[in-house]
Amino acid sequence: MALPALSLSLQFGALPDATPHRAALPRHFVTRCIRHALDSDAEITVRIVDTEEGRALNKDYRQKDYATNVLTFDYATEPTVMADLVLCAPVVALEAKDMKIPLAQHYAHLLVHGALHAQGWDHETSEADAQEMESLETEILAGLGWPDPYAKRR
């Protein structure tokens, strides 16, 4: 089965130290993570930002005054998925460190998570929806060679 086509724009904002994030996010890695999470062709921008930009976007669009790990702005799901995924590098790095996992592993999870949101998946609507989305993320990540990100909670 062929994977969906992906037109990807990968952007790095003004990060104080972008080196570890650029190393963890080569274009082929980002493309592979997202394509495995897609059900249809897509045009997606992935932007890696600092805490200030992440916090401003979360406050403006979700009315939550803190930087979060990933924000998904979905514009269309059919016939082509169109979305922006914004990942806050300092938050992702801190979470990876706290979980004692490689930065690339956490980015893989968040790219898959964001790509699913771009297609209409939502874990905040109900516990059943959250469990279904988590199971799908786990399945996709296993196919990419990554462990279950929710294993410690189960």
Domain contains 50: yes
Mean pLDDT of the chain: 96
**Is position 1 within any domain?**
no
Which pLDDT does position 8 carry in this prediction?
A: 98
- The reply to whether 97 falls in a domain is yes
- The torsion angles phi and psi of 140, rounded to 5 degrees, stand at -65, -45
Residues 6+ apart with CB under 8 A from 139: none
Confidence category of residue 120, pLDDT binned at 50, 70, 90: very high
Percent of the chain, pLDDT > 70? 98
Which residues form the domain of 145?
6-153
Binding residues for Zn(2+): 113, 117, 123
Q: Is residue 125 part of a domain?
A: yes
| Count: domains in the chain | 1
Q: For the sheet containing 6-12, what is the strand order?
A: 6-12, 42-49, 81-88, 70-76
The CATH number that applies at residue 118 is 3.40.390.30
Question: Within a domain: residue 60?
Answer: yes
The pLDDT tens digits for 76-119 are 999 999 999 999 999 999 999 999 999 999 999 999 999 999 99
Do 93 and 21 form a contact (C-beta atoms < 8 A)? yes
Please give the DSSP secondary-structure letter assigned to residue 125.
S
59 assigned to some structural domain: yes
Binding residues are 113, 117, 123
User: To which residue do tokens 């130290």 refer?
Assistant: 17
